[in-house]
Structure 1
Amino acid sequence: MTAPTQTPQPSPLQTSIRDLQQQLVVILDFGSQYSELIARRIRETQVYSEVLSYRTSASDLRRLSPKGIVLSGGPNSVYDDFAPECDREIWDLGIPVLGVCYGMQLMVKQLGGGVERADRAEYGKASLHIDDPTDLLTNVEDGATMWMSHGDSVTKLPEGFEILAHTNNTPNAAIADHDKKLYGVQFHPEVVHSIGGQALIRNFVYHICDCEPTWTTEAFVEEATREIRAKVGDKRVLLALSGGVDSSTLAFLLHRAIGDNLTCMFIDQGFMRKYEPERLVKLFQEQFHIPVEYVNARERFLAKLEGVTDPEEKRRRIGHEFIRVFEEESRRLGPFDYLAQGTLYPDVIESADSNIDPKTGERVAVKIKSHHNVGGLPKDLQFKLVEPLRKLFKDEVRKVGRSIGLPEEIVKRHPFPGPGLAIRILGEVTAERLKILRDADYIVRQEINRHGVYHDFWQAFAVLLPIRSVGVMGDKRTYAYPIVLRFVSSEDGMTADWSRVDYDFLELISNRIVNEVPGVNRVVYDVTSKPPGTIEWE
């Protein structure tokens, strides 16, 4: 029995989003840094996945009726006194299970096998030697590199299990009970370092769980539009627009669904990049025909930061002032029944502070995360929430945006922090420093676009340091600010590496900044990765 070599083609859909989610694979999270990544990899097969707590009961899983269950890795050892364990009745549900690393060891332990500390821990790349090339490992090449990260190993298989693959240090690198459709792998197939890892995941999803690829961008857009219309009806919706891919995609989707019942508000706090506020409003109003209420609040935001040097205090004050402006303007433009949020699925996973109205069962807006440009709304603002993107990962949002006509300049826009240039100026934010950084940053953006390398970087930007150094310009001594250039490469922003940029290109940018931006006499390049550094300086 072999798995399909290609992804099956999706069939026509006349269903709701809930129906799209019937082809569900659940990931039970045991604290792994890769749990979200497992969910993303399953989504890439066009099958819906959700991350749930390892405490989820077998009865709750039975009610959800997933097509498959994945037990994630985790930092614990299964023989620790307080090691997390799943409900033992899961093994009797008749649902296929894939245990990954800790998940495999827990499966073995609960089913009567043995797990002990390994004589030799195994971290990093290892060659997978396949003993059984069928079923889970169909189309996974013998000798393929897989990513290991474990100090414990399975020493005794439970009854009914057999070995599918081994490595030089791990005799039981992949195991299976074919009759019960229980599988375990000691490596991490979800990471990019595991060659053939995605083929293994496809095998589990399609061949073992018998899923169908119903989770498509087109189906999501169609059904999300229907559900927005059904929920909102003829009521008014307010959206705080930032110009990023999340809020822009949400604006497009909502406008498609409810038209003029959507009001977009753009609050210009004065920390955007050069020409961006004007460009954003013009783009939405003239090209997209989506009206935007522009609020110029530059002076009041700058006044709030006078004398402030601590980065967390900057964020707090910016967030607080945003709330005040948002509150004032929403009252002026309102009333509104709904507040639209660009909440994404990682936000849902990372936050359990949903607030439920006991009378209606609706979530109410008492908090909007700072990465959505709102630092937390007052409790007396009882909007109902509409969050069409809350089931999506960032890469899925980009696909949705592209499919509904969002231009590439927004779809592929580099991430930009909510507090904007205020946290790219270390120390106090002043009008003078803002102008210097805005002009320097503009040169960076000009050159990476002119040379066609904008999309080579996860982020590329300038930072202004609150110090001055001596220089010589035109035979005169100068005492001016340094600018730091920060170019990084990354897959998801969780980790990042500094980009190896051509020296001549850096020299070009440096020369332009020093010659065209008054107040700067020195340019340096940041060669720190994340970790140990962060992408932003504050």
Structure 2
Amino acid sequence: MRMSMTDLEPSRVEPEERVVILDFGSQYGHLIARRVRELGVYSVVLPHHAPLAEILRHRPRGVILSGGPASVYEPGAPQCDPGLWQAGVPVLGICYGMQLMVHQLGGRVDRADHREYGPATLEVEEPGRLLAGLGPRVDVWMSHGDRVDALPPGFTVLARTAGSPYAAVEGGDGRWLGVQFHPEVAHTPRGREILANFLYRVCGCKGGWSMAEFVERAVPALRRQLAGARALCALSGGVDSAVAAALVHRAIGPRLICVFVDTGLLREGEVEEVRSIFTGLGMDLRVVDARDRFLAALDGLADPEAKRKAVGETFIRVFEEEARRLEAQVGAIPFLVQGTTYPDVIESGGGAAATIKSHHNVGGLPADLEFQLVEPLRDLFKDEVREVGRRLGLPPAIVDRQPFPGPGLAIRMIGPVTAERLQRLRACDRIVREEIRRAGLEDRLWQAFAVLTGTPTVGVMGDRRTYGEAVAVRAVTSDDGMTADWARLPYEVLDRIARRLANEVEGVNRVVYDVTSKPPATIEWE
């Protein structure tokens, strides 16, 4: 069965109580969605240009307008449907979202005399419902170059800062609220309370969204979607695909066949580990050896986007062929289960955000896909996915393992992918992971790995000149992978890693440590 991508509709699990977030191009608007969900209310992210009918289709208790990089007074600045202001739904504008609210309702926004970036103190004049219970002064985080200079008719000031006379405002009989600061970031310590006030005091939400509710709703939804059919699961061995497999397996049992492809781009011992874990869980697991095929697809490719898309298409073709081979045994298999998550979609250019990199399971999918996609985790963040896994009874060895990219080691080596370089990188990766585990740091890090930089470097070993390749070590801390900070590893750990890499891995004579956070970098180098 051949279908175009436009025919595919991933399954959604949406409870009755929802808040819609309109994305105005901020790469970090996802934090608003996470904070809302953490407060027990389901959130739906839509692009800023979503028509009012699409917004109201979700029957939102409230709407949040995100921040963004534009200025509302510039030609072509992103707008929301002006009908939103007559819809009777509470609206909270954050940073650009507040400025847009003011602009569309008749106020004035202009460039600020001084850009306000970093910590500021909110002086509360009239708390209203939004700032209730916070006291007269609140520490907040600012990041803006424009500011509100005049309020629309009927608006009042709730709070100000030294740089923003209208740092929090209210209008529309209390339904329209705006804040110039960012309550969603950790640098606004009481931002969670502000968002909770909007959700519960203004929107009248009752809460109740949780991963237990997600599982309860997802299983029958998957049964309806698959309607007695069989499905293949694109099992990578990582957290996301493992949880997706367990969720679908709970819904349809033995009608799910998990296919694990040995791409040759995996870490040392990974094939054996995955086989042991998933057969132990009672799942039908088929291992396909496609190492030569992936190397051939990557031959001569150095551009990271080209590598990602080559891996993505090869994955799909292997699954299609495996499905055809299995048809003779079990009948038609029209569905393909993937562990796609919300960060995959965001970074691949979903919504209003710019494309950062094409994830193999999103931007790397071919247009003539032969399956209907089943992506039960598409709207979840990594921490939510892990919680779903725990609810499904998956072992810590799966649920708590560090993320590993779908394209594997192909995007942890700068430049071309060869069998020799893969062997070198596998050895480097093993050493980094062994030393992190030895130091008891594995549970404190989001990811820790090695990168072949492709940079030749002169060294000296045994009084002889060497000309090898520099290896970078990357270790980060994060909550969801969308933002990350470089890990302050102890010097003795870095020393052991560097010594072992240079001494044990042929062709490595220099080791560097990546001390860049995300942003401005991404976690992976490609």
1:384-434: CA deviation from partner (whole Å, max 9, x where unpaired): 232222232222212111211122232232222222122323334333332
1:484 to 472, 496, 500: 472
2:396 to 408, 417, 420: 408
Structure 1 position 162, deviation (Å): 1.7
Structure 1 position 343, deviation (Å): 2.9
Find the counterpart in structure 1 of residue 6 from structure 2. none
Q: Report the number of matched residues.
A: 505
Distance in 2 of aligned mates of 1:173 and 1:224: 41
Kindly indicate whether residue 322 of structure 2 is the aligned counterpart of residue 329 of structure 1. yes
Q: What aligned pairs does 1:210-359 form with structure 2 within 5 A after superposition?
A: 210-286=204-280, 288-334=281-327, 335-347=332-344
Maintained 8 Å contact 2:299/2:416: yes
TM-score normalised by L of structure 2: 0.88
Maintained 8 Å contact 2:436/2:493: no
Distance 1:397 1:370, change over 3 A: same
SS at match of 1:425: coil
Distance 1:427 1:102, change over 3 A: closer
AA at the equivalent of 1:126: A
Structure 1 position 333, deviation (Å): 1.4
Distance in 2 of aligned mates of 1:19 and 1:444: 39
Distance 1:371 1:140, change over 3 A: farther
2:163 to 169, 181, 206: 169
Find the counterpart in structure 1 of residue 107 from structure 2. 113
Distance in 1 of aligned mates of 2:183 and 2:363: 37
Maintained 8 Å contact 2:469/2:510: yes
Maintained 8 Å contact 2:24/2:66: yes
AA at the equivalent of 2:372: K
Find the counterpart in structure 2 of residue 417 from structure 1. 405
Q: Quick check: which has more Rg, 1 or 2?
A: 1
Structure 1 position 480, deviation (Å): 4.2
1:463 to 451, 458, 461: 451
1:46 to 40, 47, 52: 40
SS at match of 1:205: helix
Find the counterpart in structure 2 of residue 88 from structure 1. 82
Kindly indicate whether residue 203 of structure 2 is the aligned counterpart of residue 209 of structure 1. yes
1:379 to 354, 358, 368: 368
Structure 1 position 234, deviation (Å): 2.3
Maintained 8 Å contact 2:403/2:447: yes
Maintained 8 Å contact 2:348/2:362: no
Maintained 8 Å contact 2:344/2:359: no
Distance in 2 of aligned mates of 1:312 and 1:76: 27
Distance 1:481 1:157, change over 3 A: closer
Structure 1 position 94, deviation (Å): 2.0
Distance 1:384 1:409, change over 3 A: same
Maintained 8 Å contact 1:173/1:186: yes
1:122 to 116, 123, 129: 116
Distance in 2 of aligned mates of 1:532 and 1:51: 23
AA at the equivalent of 2:434: Q
Distance in 1 of aligned mates of 2:302 and 2:50: 45
SS at match of 1:126: strand
TM-score normalised by L of structure 1: 0.86
SS at match of 2:130: helix
Distance 1:510 1:108, change over 3 A: closer
SS at match of 2:77: coil
SS at match of 1:121: strand
1:93-129: CA deviation from partner (whole Å, max 9, x where unpaired): 2221111122222222333333333333312211111
Maintained 8 Å contact 2:311/2:360: no
1:276-303: CA deviation from partner (whole Å, max 9, x where unpaired): 11101111002x1112100112233234
SS at match of 1:137: coil
Distance 1:134 1:531, change over 3 A: closer
Find the counterpart in structure 1 of residue 98 from structure 2. 104
1:66 to 37, 60, 66: 60
AA at the equivalent of 2:315: F
Distance 1:479 1:330, change over 3 A: same
Kindly indicate whether residue 498 of structure 2 is the aligned counterpart of residue 522 of structure 1. no
Maintained 8 Å contact 1:141/1:196: no
Structure 1 position 304, deviation (Å): 4.1
Q: What aligned pairs does 1:487-498 form with structure 2 within 5 A after superposition?
A: 487-498=475-486
Find the counterpart in structure 2 of residue 28 from structure 1. 22
Maintained 8 Å contact 2:312/2:360: no
1:429 to 417, 420, 427: 417
Distance in 2 of aligned mates of 1:452 and 1:373: 34
2:437 to 434, 437, 449: 449
Moved more, 443-452 or 140-149: 140-149
Residue ranges of structure 1 left out of the alignment (5+ in a row): 1-16, 355-368
State the Cα RMSD in Å.
2.7
Maintained 8 Å contact 1:319/1:375: yes
Distance in 2 of aligned mates of 1:195 and 1:36: 18
Structure 1 position 239, deviation (Å): 0.9
AA at the equivalent of 1:322: F
Structure 1 position 240, deviation (Å): 0.9
SS at match of 2:25: coil
Distance 1:84 1:328, change over 3 A: closer
Instruction: Considering Cα pairs closer than 8 Å and 6+ residues apart, tell me whether 1 or 2 has the greater RCO.
Output: 2
AA at the equivalent of 2:277: L
